[in-house]
Amino acid sequence: MTDNNNSVFDSIDKRIKEAIAELGYTEPTPIQEKAIPSLLEGRDLIGCAQTGTGKTAAFLLPILNALVSPEGAAIKRKTGHPLALVLSPTRELTAQIRENLVKYAKNTKIRSACLFGGVNQCSQVKDIRRGAEVVVATPGRLIDLMTQGEIYLDSVRYFVLDEADRMLDMGFLPDIRRILSKLPVKKQSMFFSATLAPEILKLAGEMVKDPVQVMISPEQPTVDSVNQKLMHVERSAKDSLLVWLLENNPEWDRVIVFARTRHSADRVLKRLLKKHIAAASIHSDKTQAQRIRALTGFKKGDLRVLVATDIASRGIDVPEVDLVVQMELPLETESYVHRIGRTARAGKGGQSIAFVAPEEKILVKPVERFIRKTIPVDRDHPFHVDFGGKDRDELPLAPWIRIRKRRLLEHSPAGGKKPGPKKRRGQGRRQPDFGQKAKFS
């Protein structure tokens, strides 16, 4: 540990430093080392980092430090008017941030509230009325409680927008802008995203002023620290392969299995339970109480397998996950990285296995291009199928591409016909209206 590393946490209040030391925070992660000093100086920040890099502590520690400082302690508290607000996209991530917040603040008197939908709001309102100084919330439930006059944002001095890219994917932009309009002009803003696409940077420009930029590669660290494999298997044999792997590798104590749909997740869970493998599932059809129960059991070790849809691919910080299994490769290549990141937390290594059926092999090459490496095929299992034909570098064209190519040949100049005008992608499709009208007191 270098002196420079020591100086990052040494700048934090003693009470907070003692709490994080008990959690094993002895050496800062790269984003903590780069972000914390600037945030302690009160600078706005744009951070590019995925979950699992330690970014939650990177923004929570400076906020808590500011609130317990003599200047922060002198700020007049008013019930229902929090001093810090953290917005996150999902219930699970919101609960995870609040859980960390409570651990970091255990030696202080800082009070907090965690606001998300899917559960009764009574306990959340009670936390606000007890004088929560830090609020961690999803946009929808926050707007609900603002509309009811339970919470006001006029006193917020520290604002964090976490997983901004996920926020936009989920259609939260109108809600975010509505919330931003209620925040004071003078505040410290922190903006975090796993990617910095143009629309993300545009939103960041509306939030931050003269920001410090901290870029931690969102893909490569996780990719490099995970031992990745593909297994070729018929679609109908995937469940059997999963059971075979679990039965023949008892050393895997914690396994996350990703399924593409809720139906698939429930089918896999049913098969595992039939084989007396302790498991539970989380997806959008599960109540919040069911999700919390499943995650708690998985973290404690009562459950060996957690079956999930992509709702859990970000923001679930479960330590020491031995293996991530992908029943199907995701249609969005970036989701592949977020999935395997569940087994490589804060720089630790892990294993990932993706099942690929013959009709799914077209999805392999885009993933390999995205992560900039070839994923080896593990043939050492009883369900292996040989795809045969061309090498993986010469994958067959997708059916719709083959059809179009044949039509182009049929309508070549010799036939005197030309293909029709190219239709724009998404032409004629209506974008869903994610707006939510809200009246504020």
Say which CATH superfamily domain 3-215 falls into.
P-loop containing nucleotide triphosphate hydrolases (3.40.50.300)
Is 3-215's fold the same as 220-394's? yes
DSSP states along 203-217: HHHHH-SS-EEEE--
* The token pair that represents 157 in the structure block: 């001095």
Q: Does 349 score more than 90 pLDDT?
A: no
Task: Band the pLDDT of 416: cuts 50, 70, 90.
Answer: very low
Which residue blocks in 208-261 are alpha helix, DSSP H? 220-225, 238-248
**pLDDT value at residue 210:** 92
**In the sheet that 279-282 helps form, which strands lie side by side, from edge to edge?**
226-232, 350-356, 323-326, 255-258, 305-308, 279-282
CB distance 350 to 322 below 8 Å: yes
DSSP per-residue codes, 125-144? HHHHHTT-SEEEE-HHHHHH
CA 311 to the chain's CA centroid = 8
How many C-beta atoms lie closer than 10 Å to residue 224's C-beta? 13
Instruction: Give the up-direction half-sphere exposure of residue 324: CA atoms within 13 A in the CB hemisphere.
Output: 34
Across residues 68-88, what is the average pLDDT?
Answer: 94
- Strands across the sheet with 134-137, in order? 112-115, 134-137, 84-87, 158-161, 188-193, 45-48, 212-215
* Boundaries of every domain in the chain: 3-215, 220-394
Could you tell me the pTM of the whole model?
0.61
End-to-end alpha-carbon separation of the chain, Å? 51
Beta bridge partners of 250: none
Q: What is the pLDDT of residues 286-305, one digit of tens each?
A: 777 788 888 889 988 899 99
The pLDDT confidence band at residue 27, using thresholds 50, 70 and 90, is confident
- Residues of the chain with pLDDT > 90: what percent? 50
Confidence (pLDDT) at 335: 77
The answer to whether the CB of 306 falls within 8 A of the CB of 325 is no
Instruction: Look at residue 296 in the predicted model and tell me its pLDDT.
Output: 86
For the chain, give the mean pLDDT.
Answer: 82
Compute how many other C-beta atoms are within 10 angstroms of the C-beta atom of residue 70: 6
Residue appearing with tokens 């940077």 = 201
The span from the CA of 137 to the CA of 117, in Å, is 9
> Which of the four CATH numbers 3.40.50.300, 3.40.640.10, 3.10.20.440, 3.40.50.10860 does domain 220-394 have?
3.40.50.300
Please state the φ and ψ torsions of residue 76, each to the nearest 5 degrees: -70, 125
Nearest to 347 by CA among 28, 34, 38: 28
What single-letter DSSP state applies at residue 427? T
Question: Would the pLDDT of 202 be above 80?
Answer: yes
Q: Is the pLDDT of residue 441 over 50?
A: no
CA distance 15 to 20: 9
- pLDDT 10s digits, 142-178: 999 999 999 999 999 999 999 888 888 788 999 999 9
Whole-angstrom distance, CA of residue 91 vs CA of residue 160: 16
Whether 173 and 28 have beta carbons less than 8 Å apart is answered as no
